[in-house]
Amino acid sequence: MNGAESLVSTMLASNVDVCFANPGTSEMHFIAALDKVQGMRCVLTLFEGVATGAADGYFRIRQKPASTLLHLAPGLANGLANLHNAKKAGSGIVNIVGQHASFHLQYDAPLSGDIEGVARPMSHWVRTSESAAMVARDGAQAIAVARGTPNRIATLILPADASWGAAGPAAAPEAPAAALPPDPVAVDAVLAALRAGGSTVILLGGAALRGNSLEWAGRIAASAGCKLMCEGQNARIERGAGRVRLERLSYDVATAIATLTGVQNLVLIGAKTPVAFFAYPDQPSLLVPPDCRVVTLAGKDQDIEAALEALAAECGLSMSSPVHLEPFQPPALPGGPVTPDGIAAVLGALIPPHAVVVDESISVGRGFFPLTNTAAPHDWMNSMGASLGYALPVAIGAALAAPERKVIALVGDGSAMYTLQSLWTMARERLDVTIVILANRSYNILRSELTKIGVGIPGRTALDMLTLADPDLDWVALAKGHGVPAESAHDLDEFAAQFARGLAADGPYLIELVI
Amino acid sequence: MNGAESLVSTMLASNVDVCFANPGTSEMHFIAALDKVQGMRCVLTLFEGVATGAADGYFRIRQKPASTLLHLAPGLANGLANLHNAKKAGSGIVNIVGQHASFHLQYDAPLSGDIEGVARPMSHWVRTSESAAMVARDGAQAIAVARGTPNRIATLILPADASWGAAGPAAAPEAPAAALPPDPVAVDAVLAALRAGGSTVILLGGAALRGNSLEWAGRIAASAGCKLMCEGQNARIERGAGRVRLERLSYDVATAIATLTGVQNLVLIGAKTPVAFFAYPDQPSLLVPPDCRVVTLAGKDQDIEAALEALAAECGLSMSSPVHLEPFQPPALPGGPVTPDGIAAVLGALIPPHAVVVDESISVGRGFFPLTNTAAPHDWMNSMGASLGYALPVAIGAALAAPERKVIALVGDGSAMYTLQSLWTMARERLDVTIVILANRSYNILRSELTKIGVGIPGRTALDMLTLADPDLDWVALAKGHGVPAESAHDLDEFAAQFARGLAADGPYLIELVI
C-alpha cells in the first residue's frame, strides 16, 4: 500500500466516501488509488470552485464531510472562494491538495507555490504530510477536525513522494471534538430575559433551524409570547407547511434596524449578534438597539438541541406543548409580466415536498423568503460568505447528498457566471437540479449599493461596470454547451410552465427567467 | 477629492491607465471615482481570474503594469491562480482590493476574511492603506513595485473608509528599482565558457527573447558556434520569419535530458537552470548533466540587453555582425484528418504578420512550436505558472494592449473551461482574438502523466477523472452563450477555412477543433 492508498483507505474507514476532484499530475497517485481501494464516489469538476462548493452543499444536507482533491497552490486558490463560503456556513470539509515531491520543491518549478499560505485564510487546520508513513494518521486527524463541533475546514497537503512512498494500513477514525453541553448559567440568563417582559426576539442560527431544535424553539417562543426570527443568511432552514415559521432579518440595514427597534431582549441561539453586511458612511454596523439586552443560550460549539431542551424544561414545556406551525397554503399561480412577488408565488405554489432550495437570487429574490413560507415543506439555503458563485456548486453537493430530493437553484445571472462549469458536472452525474437563472443582465445589487454609499446618480463608466449587457448572456446556449437542457421564460406564465417541466424532469434543467 | 479619487489620479499620473475590474460593494467608491477622474480604461470581467490574467497579458505586450479591481478576500482568491501565472511570467501588476471599512472589521461580517493572507502567496508586495490620506502614497509605491526590475505583483488593500474619506491630491510617480548593470565578472566567465570549446548551449529566457537582446544573442551564438535555445515555457518570444531561431527545451523530461546530454557548457541569459516540471519516482529533477558547467550572464534583476551587448563587444561583435535569421517558408496547407502536425502546418501557413499567439495547447500542441518557426513574424506566449485557464484571459489583455495586432489563442478544452467567462469580455470589448479550442475531450496530459508515474494501465475511476466526455462540451454553444461567433471543425480542411475566417473577422471568433 502506498501513501495515497493508505489515505483513501483511512477516509473510507472514517466514512468520508465522496470526493469532488479537479486533479493534476501531483494527484495522479491518489486518482490511481481510487481504482485499488474501492468505495470512494469521485466526482469530476472542471473548476476547483465547483469542487469546494459541492463539498459545502454535501455537508449542509448530510452533516458529514466530503473531501475535495485539488492541484497544488493554484488549484487550491481556485477553490478558496467557496471554501470561504463553506467556512462561514460552518461546513466540515477535508481538502486534499497535491504538492510536488519534497525533493523537487527546491527547484521552483512552474507550479510551485506556498500551498500552506494559500490554505490558511480559509482553513481551520492545515498540515503537510512529512512522509508516506504519516499520511494515514494525518488524514484521520484532518477528518476529525472536519467532523468536530463546530465543524471545520481541514486542508491536508500531500507531497507526491508521500503519495507514492510505501505506507502502512489505514488509520482508525479519531474522535472529533464533542459539542459542549448546555451551560446552566446561560439557560438561567435566557429564562430571566424571557420573563423580563417587554419586546423580546429569539434569533436562531445554525443547528437551531432544523429538526427538534426548531420545534423546541417554536414551543418556547409560543409559550413566552416572543417573536421568533432567523439570521439574514442561513446555511439550511427546515421550513414550509407544517414547520415552525421564522421571520428572516433583512439584508437591508435600514429595514433590519427598523425591525429590531424597540426590542428589549434579544436571545441568541446558534446565532450571532446581527451586524450589517457592509458598513456605510452614515449607518451603524450593529443592527441591535444600543439598550437591548443580548443573551446567548448556545453558540456553535455547543449542543444546541440539548440547550433548547434544557430551556424548554425550565419553561415547563414538553414535547406535547403547543407550537405554532405553518399551515399549507399554496398561492394561486400568477401570470403576466415578471415581478419578484410573482416569481415567489410560482415558487410557493410549485416547490415540491422535501425539495432543497439553494438561494443565490440576490437583489431579485429579497422577497422570495416570506412568500414561500407556506409552500410544501422544504429546506432553504443561503450563501453564508456572500462570495458569488456558491449556488450551482452547492446544488451539486446537495443533489449528490440527497438523490431522492429535488434540488432547486435560484441564481442571479451575475452570480451564476462565476461557477457556470457546474452545469457540466450536473449533466454528467444526472443530478436532479432545476436551475432558475434570474437574468436581470446586471449586478443589480451594486446599483442600490452605489446609492447607499452616497454616490448619487452613477455616471456612464460606473454603470458600465454594473451592467451585464452588450452582449446579453444567452443562458439557453450556455446550458446546452454544458449538456443541460434549457428554456427561456419572459413572463410568469412561461416561467410557471417551464419550472413545472424542470421539476418533472429527472436530471438537470435550466430556466433563464428574463427580468 | 476622496481616497478613491486620489488613487485613480495617482494611477493615471504614473501611467497606469487600464483596470480589469470585477467589483463589489466595497469597491463602489473606486468605480464612482472613474466617472470623476477621467482617463482610466476600465474593463469589466465576470470572474476575477479573467481580470488578473488579462493584466498579465497586457503587461506581456506593453511591458507596463495594468491594474485589477477585486472584491475582498474571496474576489482576490478567485484571481490568485492567474496571479500565480503572472508572477512566474515576471509581469508587473497592481491589484486594488476593496476591504470593509476599518471600523466594520471587528464584526466578522459575511465577506470578511484575511485579505493580506490571501494576497501574500502570489504578491511580492502587500499593503493595507491606513487612511484616506495615505492612499495616494500607497498607490504610488505599489506602482513603483510593479514597474521595477524585475517587475512584480503589488497588492494594495483599500478599506471602504479610506476610499470615501477626504484625501489630498494625486501622489507623484515614485522611481522604480532600476535594472542592475552588467556584471564584468559574469561577462568574463561566460566568455571563458564560450571559448572553452566542447558542446555549448546558450539558454535564453525573459527579456533575452525579444528585440535587440535576441539579435545580440543570435550573433554571439553564430560567432561562437554554439546552440541557441529557450526555456520550456516563455512569457513572450519574438519569432518567425526574419527572426533569430530558437530551439525550445522539451516539457518531456526524458527528451529534455537527451537534448542536454553531452552539453559541457550551459550559458544562462535571463533563464534559470532547467528543471523538470514535476518530479517522477525514477527521474532526476535537474535536466542538466551533472558535469555540465553552468554560468549565468544576467538574471532577471539585471539589464539583459546591456549584458548581451557587453558580451558581444568582448567577442568582437558589432551590430553589423552576421546573425542567422529564420527565412520565410510558409508550409503548404494540409488537408485530411486532424493531426497535431497538421494543425501546426495550418498555423504556420496562416498566422498573420505581427500576430500574438497565446499558447495553452498542452498535450496536443507540444509540436506546434518547431513547425511554426518559419511562419510570418509573430510573438509566442506560454503559461509560465502552468495553472490552467491562462490563455483566454491573457488574450484579452494582449488584445487591449495591441489593438492593431491579431491575437490567436490556442487552448485545450480542459484549460479553456477554467476561465471561459473571458469570451464575454472579448465580445463586449470587440477584441480581435481568434480562439482555437483543441477539443480532445480529456485532460489528455494527465493520461501520459499517469503512465510516467508508473501507475500502469489506469482503471475505470481514474480514466473517468481524466475524461471530459458524457456529455461532450459544445464549444459552439458556449461561445454563442457569451456572444462570440463560432464554428466547429472536424478535419484540417474545415479548420484551415474556419481559422482563415476567424483571422479575417474584426472581433472575437471561436473555432472548436475536434480531435
Domains of chain B, earliest start first: 3-164 (3.40.50.970), 184-314 (3.40.50.1220), 340-514 (3.40.50.970)
Contact criterion met (CB < 8 Å) for B458 and A32: yes
For chain B, state the CA radius of gyration.
24
**Closest to B213 in 3D by CA, of B88, B273, B91, B303:** B303
Question: How many of the other CB atoms lie within 10 Å of CB of A351?
Answer: 24
Q: What is the mean pLDDT of residues A450-466?
A: 82
Nearest to A47 among B276, B417, B465 (CB): B417
Helix, strand or coil for residue B443? coil
Q: Which residue is associated with the grid cell 463589489?
A: B24
Minimal Cα–Cα distance from B317 to chain A, Å?
Answer: 35
Nearest to B28 among A161, A446, A470 (CB): A446
Contact criterion met (CB < 8 Å) for B23 and A101: no
Q: Please report, rounded to a whole number, the percentage of residues in chain A having pLDDT higher than 70.
A: 100
Q: Give B-chain residues touching A35 at CB under 8 angstroms.
A: 458-462
> Residue A105 carries which DSSP code?
G
CB neighbour burial string for A225-247, b if at least 16 within 10 angstroms, e if fewer:
ebebbbbbbbbbbbbbbebbbbe
Q: Yes or no: say if A86 and A151 are a contact pair by the CB < 8 Å rule.
A: no
Bond before B150 cis per omega within 30 degrees: yes
Question: How many of the other CB atoms lie within 10 Å of CB of A184?
Answer: 11
Disruptive mutation site among A18, A36, A78 for chain B (greatest number of B CBs within 10 Å): A78
ipTM higher than the 0.95 cut: yes
Q: What is the mean pLDDT of residues A87-108?
A: 97
Q: Which residue is associated with the grid cell 498579465?
A: B56
Minimal Cα–Cα distance from B181 to chain A, Å?
Answer: 25
Has residue A500 got a pLDDT over 90?
A: yes
Minimal Cα–Cα distance from A110 to chain B, Å?
Answer: 5
Minimal Cα–Cα distance from B300 to chain A, Å?
Answer: 15
Minimal Cα–Cα distance from B470 to chain A, Å?
Answer: 6
Cell digits of residue A487? 428554456
Helix, strand or coil for residue B15? coil
Q: How far apart are CA B71 and CA A443, in angstroms?
A: 13
Range name among A4-8, A206-210, A452-456 with the lowest pLDDT average? A452-456
Range name among A48-57, B121-130, B181-190, B455-464 with the lowest pLDDT average? B455-464
**CA distance readout (Å), A267 to A153, A258, A271:** 28, 18, 9
Q: Please report, rounded to a whole number, the percentage of residues in chain A having pLDDT higher than 90.
A: 90
Q: How far apart are CA A99 and CA A110, in angstroms?
A: 12
Helix, strand or coil for residue A60? helix
Contact criterion met (CB < 8 Å) for A461 and B31: yes
Q: Yes or no: say if B67 and B22 are a contact pair by the CB < 8 Å rule.
A: no
Q: What is the mean pLDDT of residues A414-437?
A: 98
pTM of the model: 0.98
Mean of per-residue pLDDT scores for chain A: 96
pLDDT band with cut points at 50, 70 and 90 for residue A448 = confident
Mean of per-residue pLDDT scores for chain B: 96
pLDDT band with cut points at 50, 70 and 90 for residue B129 = very high
Model pLDDT for residues B95-106, shown as the tens digit of each residue: 999 999 999 999
Task: Find, in chain B, the residue whose alpha carbon is nearest to that of A387.
Answer: B74
Q: How far apart are CA A181 and CA A297, in angstroms?
A: 11
pLDDT of residue B197: 86
Cell digits of residue A418? 462565476
Strand (E) or helix (H) holding A206: none
pLDDT of residue B183: 97
Has residue A456 got a pLDDT over 80?
A: no
DSSP bridge partners of B442 = B467
Contact criterion met (CB < 8 Å) for A103 and B35: no
Q: Yes or no: say if B210 and B238 are a contact pair by the CB < 8 Å rule.
A: yes
Has residue A330 got a pLDDT over 90?
A: no
> Residue B417 carries which DSSP code?
G
pLDDT band with cut points at 50, 70 and 90 for residue A388 = very high
**Closest to B89 in 3D by CA, of B356, B384, B381, B299:** B384
How many residues are recorded in chain B? Answer: 515
Contact criterion met (CB < 8 Å) for B78 and A470: no
Disruptive mutation site among B12, B418, B463 for chain A (greatest number of A CBs within 10 Å): B418
SS (H, E, C) B445-489: HHHHHHHHCCCCCCCHHHHHCCECCCCCCCHHHHHHHCCCCEEEE
Cell digits of residue B8? 485613480
Contact criterion met (CB < 8 Å) for B427 and A74: no
CB half-sphere exposure, A235, CA atoms < 13 A: 28
pLDDT band with cut points at 50, 70 and 90 for residue B447 = confident
Contact criterion met (CB < 8 Å) for B470 and A74: no
Disruptive mutation site among A460, A465, A468, A473 for chain B (greatest number of B CBs within 10 Å): A465
Nearest to A470 among B384, B385, B428 (CB): B428
Task: Find, in chain A, the residue whose alpha carbon is nearest to that of B384.
Answer: A110
**CA distance readout (Å), B231 to B60, B237, B263:** 17, 10, 15
Task: Find, in chain B, the residue whose alpha carbon is nearest to that of A449.
Answer: B25
Size of interface A-B (CB pairs under 8 A): 319
pLDDT of residue B404: 98
Strand (E) or helix (H) holding B220: helix B211-224
Q: Give B-chain residues touching A475 at CB under 8 angstroms.
A: 481
Contact criterion met (CB < 8 Å) for A420 and B418: no
Q: What is the mean pLDDT of residues A124-128?
A: 98
Contact criterion met (CB < 8 Å) for B46 and A455: no
Helix, strand or coil for residue A307? helix
- Residues with Cβ within 8 Å of A231's Cβ and at least 6 positions away in sequence, in order, are A203, A204, A205, A248, A249, A271, A272, A274
Contact criterion met (CB < 8 Å) for A78 and B418: yes
Contact criterion met (CB < 8 Å) for A446 and B161: no
Pairing of strands A237-239, B433-439: unpaired
pLDDT of residue B324: 85
Contact criterion met (CB < 8 Å) for B164 and A35: no
**Closest to B447 in 3D by CA, of A110, A327, A25, A300:** A25
Disruptive mutation site among B461, B473, B488 for chain A (greatest number of A CBs within 10 Å): B461
Task: Find, in chain B, the residue whose alpha carbon is nearest to that of A36.
Answer: B459
Q: How far apart are CA A205 and CA A298, in angstroms?
A: 10
pLDDT band with cut points at 50, 70 and 90 for residue B280 = confident
Q: Give B-chain residues touching A459 at CB under 8 angstroms.
A: 32, 34-36
Minimal Cα–Cα distance from A455 to chain B, Å?
Answer: 7
DSSP bridge partners of A2 = A166
Question: Which stretches does DSSP call E strand in A249-326?
Answer: 265-269, 293-298
Contact criterion met (CB < 8 Å) for B160 and A278: yes
